[in-house]
Amino acid sequence: MLIILISSLRKGEIRSTSRVSFVALIITTTLGLGFDALSYILEEGLPDNLVLSVTLILSFSLINLCLIAFSFYLFSIIRRTRNISILSFSPVMAVCGINISLILIGALSGDFFIVRDHQILYGPWKDPILVMPVASVVLLLITLLMNLRFMGIRNTLVLGSFAAFPLFAAIIVFFFSEMQFAYLSAALSCEIIFTFIRREEITRAQVREEIMRRISSKDSLTGLMNRRGFDDAVRQSSDHEWLGVVFGDLNALKYTNDNFGHASGDAYIRRFADLLRQIFENFGPICRISGDEFVVLLYDISEPDFNGLMKKTNEAIRNNDRIASVGYAYGGSSKASELIKHAEKEMYNAKNRFYRETGMKRRGITQ
């Protein structure tokens, strides 16, 4: 419990309502465990009667404070999914408040317990005082079940452990009155809830990391993978046996930018990106690795299928005013770097043919 408490106190989200109420729950449970254990130690050690009496009062009172802290924690969790008032937990808080009052009054009057000759003798108020926390737990369990459809089964089962274990302990006490499990059961429930919280935090962190990885690997202009995503895709190619590479470079992008403006150049880039997406979206990662260069990696594609896609790509480029020059390579994925270089070389050969056949200068207008 101390380890859980220290871990919870170190969290950066300590100011959130759920975190504060959970820390309060851990603190009260830990103190309750301590005072409960201390009452047994002092009883055996024949302490001063007043010291033992105060320890017992704190031990019995703190279980009610645990239930109040758990009520606030449950309220903060339910409020995430629906609008709920803290007044929904007023019956629990009322029962706990009454129980604490009975403990104090009963200890002073002797109706709850008296310490005589360093021995604890319980009075007629013992059973009502022990039953009232169980009633509070039942009320909390009913509130939790009433919000099942908002909370979900998994959350309900985890939070319900705080009700299930004390009820189980109460059943044991009913048959073996000398055994007290209230704080042990509460501590076990706290550990389950904390484990669940940590699991959820780790899951959220992993999701955030994956989202950031995808964002950092995506080209903002085209929505394709950027250079970072391309490098990751090349590394992943080692998990596959065969690899097809398509290396494309836009024709006359500089001419478009200089004569029609960069907005037209961006539209030109997106146009080719959409063309590649239409052809290869279901076959492998499509990457924009620089301003006008694009690479598609096709994992484990058969050579006949790759040749079919080559023909489809060449036809699409011809139908789009020879928007780009493209090179191809196919082989074992263990030679990914060599295949990419080969496809790039083929792309430059195609680009030279384009400028030679069209008479267009790379950085100017037609000759």
CA-closest candidate to residue 159, choices 269, 81, 246, 219: 81
Cβ count within 10 A of residue 324 = 28
Per-residue confidence (pLDDT) for residue 365, from 0 to 100: 43
Does residue 220 lie in a domain region? no
Q: Are 255 and 346 in contact (CB under 8 A)?
A: no
Q: Are 134 and 164 in contact (CB under 8 A)?
A: no
Per-residue confidence (pLDDT) for residue 66, from 0 to 100: 87
Note the Cα 261 to chain centre separation in Å: 44
Give the integer Cα–Cα distance in Å for 205 and 349.
Answer: 47
Per-residue confidence (pLDDT) for residue 11, from 0 to 100: 56
Per-residue confidence (pLDDT) for residue 212, from 0 to 100: 67
Q: Do residues 342 and 296 share a domain? A: yes
243 has which bridge partners? 299, 331
Q: Do residues 251 and 151 share a domain? A: no
> Where residue 60 sits, what CATH number does that domain have?
1.20.1070
Read off the DSSP letter of residue 288.
E
Angle of helix 262-280 versus helix 253-260 axis, rounded to 10? 140
- Is 116 buried (19+), middle (13-18) or exposed (0-12) by CB count in 10 A? exposed
Q: Which helix (H) or strand (E) holds 332?
A: strand 324-332
Domain edge (last residue) among 169, 188, 214: 214
CA-closest candidate to residue 339, choices 330, 347, 348: 330
Give the integer Cα–Cα distance in Å for 2 and 47.
Answer: 27
Which two three-digit tokens encode residue 44?
């055996």
Give the integer Cα–Cα distance in Å for 250 and 254.
Answer: 9
Residue ranges making up the domain that contains 23: 2-214
Which two three-digit tokens encode residue 337?
């770097």
> Where residue 325 sits, what CATH number does that domain have?
3.30.70.270
Going residue by residue through the chain, which has 367 residues, state the pLDDT in tens, using 9 for 90 and above.
777 777 766 655 445 778 788 888 888 888 887 887 777 777 665 556 777 788 888 888 888 888 898 899 889 888 888 888 888 899 999 999 999 999 999 999 989 988 876 677 888 998 888 888 888 888 888 888 888 888 888 788 888 877 766 666 556 555 545 445 566 677 777 777 777 777 776 667 677 776 666 667 788 899 899 998 899 899 888 888 999 999 999 998 888 888 889 899 999 999 999 999 999 988 889 999 988 999 999 999 999 999 999 999 999 999 998 999 999 999 998 889 999 999 999 999 999 999 888 877 655 444 3
Angle of helix 336-358 versus helix 227-236 axis, rounded to 10? 130
Domain edge (last residue) among 214, 236, 255: 214
Give the integer Cα–Cα distance in Å for 130 and 136.
Answer: 11
Q: Greatest CA separation found in the chain?
A: 115
Q: Give Cα separations from 80 to 67, 77, 90 (angstroms).
A: 20, 6, 19
Domain edge (last residue) among 214, 236, 271: 214
Q: Do residues 210 and 238 share a domain? A: no
Give the integer Cα–Cα distance in Å for 180 and 176.
Answer: 9
Does residue 219 lie in a domain region? no
Overall number of domains in the chain: 2
